[in-house]
Amino acid sequence: MKKIRLNKKQQYWLLQIVGWLSIVFVETINYTFFIVRQFVWEYVFQFCLLAVSGLVASHLYKTLFIKPTTFEKSLSKIWGKALLDTFFITLIMVCTFFIPYIFYSPEFFSTTDFLIQFFGQMMNIARYVVVWIIIYYLYHILDRNRIISQQKLIVENLAKTSELELLKSQLNPHFLFNALNSIKALVLIDAEKAREAIIKLSELLRFTLNYEKTPLIRLSDEIDEVVKYLELEKIRFGDRLDVHIDLQEETLDAKVPPAMILTFAENAIKHGITQLPDGGIIEIKSTANSHSLKVEVCNTGELNENETKGIGLKNSSRRLQTLFGEKAELLLKAKSPNKVSVSIIYPLKYSNHE
């Protein structure tokens, strides 16, 4: 058997009709068995009029005066408005109830009985309006909390995913094994250089473990870590690795995402230098104009199509756009038949982080 599923609008109208018609049933039972102790059609007609006026008044009031932004405020403001809404909806219904008297008994409005009946009806009808307000407001408050919880879960999942991707973009474990093996061999040849290499390796590891705590660092600080990494790799590659760093002086204090250039340098070693029997060259350049900063890492080698689809590249691109906006770019291309270039370009003026 196929289940019938109602959308939110259909659910709303179903609850509206059933809810207000239940007043007719409850009041008819109350008057028939406990107040007047007999069935009177006139009372049923009045209860039907009350239900119709309640349905129309509550819907119009909801449409005109209860906006979705109401439920984005604090709970005290939400329930304060709920109290006012109860009063005004009740007032509209009571005024509707007394409209017929304008035509067949206008003098009734100048009597004391009118005031007694008016406030009596206010108290009586307010009972039902309060129920409507509580149900309607609670539904939206709970729905709002559900949306916030879902958004929180999405953000937490994105954070975990980003954290995993950042961990993936940290130094390759193979580098650590190679560096330690190189240092072990260096100990037998030059103990002083081996000691310096151990210091550089420890400083580099400390940097890669702590860099996510700071969204941006100075370019000069980032390059210091890149130099340590490349010097450690040079122990392994020797003359097969040649490094050229050319930084425009005006760019040294510019802010860059930590470990991003370090990741590019590692990729240059992994996908470029290690694939070439004769080794190659790694070049790091930085330039700036009045509007933007460009940092480029070039290495000897050929561009592999898989590199353009890697997680690390997508993660770096997302980091750039998160920090510097949509104008930030990450470009990976073959600069010549035997040279690959990756560059980041982003505006020097931005508002995401200072």
Q: What is the CATH number of the domain that holds 234?
A: 3.30.565.10
Indicate whether 354 pLDDT > 60: no
Overall average pLDDT of the 3-27 stretch: 87
What's 32's DSSP letter?
Answer: I
Q: How confident is the model at residue 311 (pLDDT cuts 50, 70, 90)?
A: low
With respect to residue 134, please indicate whether it lies within any of the assigned structural domains: yes
Cβ-based neighbour number of residue 219 at 10 Å? 21
Examine residue 352 and state whether it is found in any structural domain, yes or no: no
Mean pLDDT over 331-353 rounds to: 81
Q: CA–CA separation, 136 vs 166, rounded Å?
A: 45
The answer to the question of residue 319 being in a domain is yes
Q: Strands, E, within the chain: which ranges? A: 217-218, 241-247, 255-256, 280-288, 292-300, 329-336, 339-347
pLDDT of residue 166: 56
Last residue of a domain, one of 104, 136, 164: 164
Which of these three, 164, 179, 196, is where a domain ends?
164
pLDDT mean over 107-115: 83
Torsion angle of C-alpha atoms 51, 53, 55, 59, degrees rounded to 10:
-170
Number of domains present in the structure of the chain: 2
pLDDT in tens, 22-32: 988 988 998 88
Looking at the fold, whether 123 and 182 belong to one and the same domain comes out as no
Residue 128 forms part of a structural domain: yes
Q: Is residue 150 located within the same domain as residue 254? A: no
How many CB atoms within 10 Å of residue 305?
6
Question: Is residue 231 in some structural domain?
Answer: yes
**Element housing 196 (H / E):** helix 191-210
Give per-residue pLDDT as tens, 236-291: 888 899 999 999 999 999 999 888 898 899 889 988 898 898 889 999 999 998 88
pLDDT at residue 120 greater than cutoff 60: yes
- For residue 307, pLDDT over 90 is answered with no
- The answer to whether position 353 is within a domain reads no
290 is in which domain, residue-wise? Answer: 169-347
| Position 1 in a domain | no
Residues 113 and 193 in one domain: no
CB 301 within 8 A of CB 275: yes
pTM: 0.53
